[in-house]
Amino acid sequence: MTLREAKARTSRGQVNPELPAWAALRQAAIFLFAPLAGNGTIRSPFHSWRGAISNQMDNVRIGVVGLGNIGQIHVNNLLEGKVERGVLTAVADAFPDKLPEYELKGLMTFDSGEALIASGEIDALMIATPHFQHTTLGIAALEAGLHVMVEKPISAHKADAERLIAAAEARPELTFSGMFQMRVEPRYQKIRKLVQTGELGDLIRVIWIMTDWFRAEAYYQSSNWRATWKGEGGGVLLNQCLHQLDALQWIVGMPSRVQSHIGIGRHHDIEVEDDVTCYMEYPNGASGAFITSTGETPGSNRFEIAGTKGRLLLENDKLIVTRNEVASDEWSRTSKIGFQQPETTVEEIPIPGTENAHAQLVANFVNAILNAEALIAPGASGIGSVELANVMVYSGLIGQAIDLPMDSAAWEAKLNDLIANSTHEKKVVEVSNEDFSASFRK
Rounded Cα distance between 42 and 109, Å, is 12
Q: How many CB atoms lie within 10 A of CB 101?
A: 12
157 in a domain, yes or no? no
Q: Is the pLDDT of residue 438 over 60?
A: no
In order, the DSSP letters of 48-98 are: T--GGGGGGSSSEEEEEE--SHHHHHHHHHHHTT-STTEEEEEEE-S-GGG
138 in a domain, yes or no? no
Give residue-wise pLDDT tens across range 64-99. Answer: 999 999 999 999 999 999 999 999 999 999 999 999
CB 114 within 8 A of CB 140: yes
CATH code at position 36: 3.40.50
Q: Which residues face 334 on adjacent strands?
A: none
147 in a domain, yes or no? no
Same domain, 107 and 228: no
CA angle centred on 308, ends 305 and 314, rounded to 5° = 20
140 in a domain, yes or no? no
34 in a domain, yes or no? yes
User: Percentage of the chain with pLDDT > 90?
Assistant: 80
CATH code at position 311: 3.30.360.10
Same domain, 85 and 210: no
Same domain, 270 and 419: yes
Same domain, 335 and 401: yes
Same domain, 120 and 211: no
Rounded Cα distance between 30 and 15, Å, is 11
Q: Which pLDDT value is given to residue 224?
A: 87
Q: Which of 87, 104, 129 lies at the terminal end of a domain, its last residue?
A: 129
pLDDT tier, 136 (very low <50, low <70, confident <90, very high otherwise): very high
Q: Which of 106, 129, 152 lies at the terminal end of a domain, its last residue?
A: 129
Pairing of strands 344-349, 318-324: antiparallel
Give residue-wise pLDDT tens across range 173-222. Answer: 999 999 999 999 999 999 999 999 999 999 999 999 999 999 999 999 98
Q: What is the DSSP letter of 439?
A: G
Q: Is the pLDDT of residue 344 over 80?
A: yes
CB 314 within 8 A of CB 303: yes
The CA distances from residue 369 to 31, 128, 160, 167, 176, in Å, are 27, 19, 24, 17, 9
89 in a domain, yes or no? yes
pLDDT tier, 439 (very low <50, low <70, confident <90, very high otherwise): low
Q: Is the pLDDT of residue 277 over 80?
A: yes
Q: What is the DSSP letter of 433?
A: -
Q: Is the pLDDT of residue 23 over 90?
A: no
Identify the CA nearest to 377 among candidates 44, 149, 208: 149
Same domain, 99 and 235: no
Same domain, 212 and 101: no
Rounded Cα distance between 91 and 78, Å, is 12
Look up the domain containing 50 and give its range: 3-129
Rounded Cα distance between 37 and 24, Å, is 23
Same domain, 80 and 194: no
Same domain, 121 and 205: no
Rounded Cα distance between 180 and 243, Å, is 6
Same domain, 301 and 429: yes
User: How many independent structural domains does the chain possess?
Assistant: 2
Mean pLDDT in residue range 331-343? 93
In order, the DSSP letters of 148-207 are: EEEPSSSSSSHHHHHHHHHHHHT-TTS-EEE--GGGG-HHHHHHHHHHHTTTT-SEEEEE
Rounded Cα distance between 302 and 291, Å, is 10
CB 126 within 8 A of CB 76: no
Of 9-23, 193-207, 316-330, the range with the lowest mean pLDDT is 9-23
Same domain, 362 and 427: yes
Residues 6+ apart with CB under 8 A from 195: 203, 251, 252, 305, 307
Q: What is the DSSP letter of 331?
A: H
Rounded Cα distance between 184 and 182, Å, is 5
Q: Which of 85, 106, 129 lies at the terminal end of a domain, its last residue?
A: 129
Of 248-252, 298-302, 333-337, the range with the lowest mean pLDDT is 333-337
162 in a domain, yes or no? no
What's this model's pTM, rounded to 2 decimal places?
A: 0.86
150 in a domain, yes or no? no
Q: Is the pLDDT of residue 39 over 50?
A: no
Amino acid sitting at position 434:
E
Same domain, 241 and 322: yes
Rounded Cα distance between 342 and 311, Å, is 13
